[in-house]
Structure 1
Amino acid sequence: MSNQSQTTVFGVDQRIVALGFARMADAMGNSFLIVVLPLYIASNYVHGTFFGFTESMITGLVIGL
């Protein structure tokens, strides 16, 4: 590692803060998918028999992608 001082935010290395924000954004995106996606699929906008799959199967496929 280099001996150069890193810019800090609240006494924490800036890279750690950036990684923390990235993980927070990822968690929020996953939460959105897990909560909103099944509601969207069950809303009759996408039919439960879309391509012959059930609503549960469609939800699982999309989350798995």
Structure 2
Amino acid sequence: MSPARTLRIDRIACTGQGLCAELLPELIDLDEWGYPVLKDKTVSDRLRTHARRAVAACPVLALHMDDDRT
């Protein structure tokens, strides 16, 4: 089994373009100003490819996926 992965958002870098929520609606909503809100930080194996795509597509590199190595 691969290590668990979690999403995090760099709130200072984020400009609220909303692309992450379009690419990963299972885990990301937008608030009333268009900034991302994580529904769940844990990325399941089923969503890992979609999460990687959303991280790579962020125009300001504000979305990150980290390994949870506890």
* TM-score for both structures, normalised by structure 1: 0.25
- Which of the pair has the greater relative contact order for Cα pairs under 8 Å at 6+ separation? 2
**Which structure shows the higher strand fraction?**
2
**Which structure shows the higher helix fraction?**
1
* TM-score for both structures, normalised by structure 2: 0.23
